[in-house]
């Protein structure tokens, strides 16, 4: 049984609702963890995205996050990755304790959490922040385990290797070789104007963009 408040919110959400619309609704609600959990209980993708925006990060303990990640598994591959990325961007990166928790997920039994570990490391480099001094160890792990990983984790490892290759000339050739050796995304069809995920191409294109600025 859902509350009248949740019913009212759900009436504002439909298949045409954009992420920006959810942000507007969240701005009106502000932080409301109890309401967030009620929205989460609907098991619907868009209400869950909204729920993430109004969660109280202080209440996102390791156990709570484990449950949220488990709950996400009912969604399609794309939806659950979107939910996890949204959770990372809007909650997990906003708190030092949650960042530390993300950084402990390298060997988590949850593929979503492992993906987040690698994606977060990639985002540190992509967004121009000074990354921790762990590039050598990360690349060694990618080289050793990438092909045994789940597809969503492979993507995040590839994302990280791509941005290391773009921003760190010392590791560029090594990252290109990872792509050549694994062949991941080599035959992927890419829409016009988008950068391919295949590491040799990704690194070449992104490096050229920065050199030609």
Residues 162, 80: one domain? no
Cβ contacts of residue 202 below 8 Å, gap of 6+? 162, 165, 166, 179, 195, 196
Residues 112 and 96 in one domain: no
The rounded mean pLDDT for the chain is: 94
Domain shared by 98 and 110, yes or no: no
Total structural domains within the chain: 2
Mean pLDDT of 186-191: 92
Question: Do 147 and 96 sit in the same domain of this protein?
Answer: no
Residue with tokens 């993430």: 52
- Give yes or no for residue 15 having a pLDDT over 80: yes
Specify whether 96 is located in the same domain as 180. no
Q: Which of 60, 83, 102 is the last residue of a domain?
A: 102
94 and 134 belong to one structural domain: no
Q: Are residues 131 and 176 in the same domain?
A: yes
Q: pLDDT, tens digit, for every residue of 52-73? A: 999 999 999 999 999 999 999 9
Domain that holds residue 151: 106-213
pLDDT-based confidence at residue 131 (cuts at 50, 70, 90): confident
For 139-173, the pLDDT digits (tens) are 999 999 999 999 999 999 999 999 999 999 999 99
Give the end of a domain, one of 102, 129, 145: 102
Considering the domain architecture, whether residues 25 and 113 belong to the same structural domain is answered as no
Does one domain contain both 89 and 115?
A: no
Regarding whether 115 and 96 lie in a shared domain, the answer is: no
Instruction: Clarify whether residues 90 and 111 are in a common domain.
Output: no
Banded model confidence at residue 212, pLDDT cuts 50, 70, 90: confident
5 with 74, same domain? Answer: yes
Share of residues in the chain with pLDDT > 90 (%): 88
- Indicate the residue among 85, 102, 119 that finishes a domain: 102
């Amino acid at each position: 049984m859902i509350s009248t408040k949740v019913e009212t919110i759900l009436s504002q959400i439909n298949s045409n609702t954009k992420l920006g619309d959810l942000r507007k609704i969240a701005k009106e609600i502000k932080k409301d963890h109890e309401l967030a959990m009620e929205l989460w209980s609907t098991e619907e993708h868009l209400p869950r995205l909204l729920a993430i925006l109004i969660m109280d990060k202080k209440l996102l303990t390791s156990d709570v996050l484990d449950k949220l990640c488990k709950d996400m598994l009912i969604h399609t591959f794309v939806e659950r990755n979107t939910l996890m990325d949204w959770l990372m961007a809007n909650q997990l990166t906003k708190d030092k304790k949650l960042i530390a928790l993300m950084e402990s997920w390298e060997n988590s039994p949850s593929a979503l959490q492992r993906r987040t570990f690698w994606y977060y490391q990639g985002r540190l480099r992509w967004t121009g922040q000074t990354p921790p001094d762990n590039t050598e160890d990360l690349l060694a792990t990618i080289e050793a385990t990438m092909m045994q990983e789940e597809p969503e984790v492979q993507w995040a490892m590839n994302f990280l290797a791509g941005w290391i290759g773009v921003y760190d000339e010392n590791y560029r050739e090594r990252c290109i070789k990872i792509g050549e050796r694994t062949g991941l995304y080599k035959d992927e069809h890419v829409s016009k104007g988008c950068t391919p995920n295949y590491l040799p191409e990704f690194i070449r294109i992104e490096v050229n963009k920065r050199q030609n600025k």
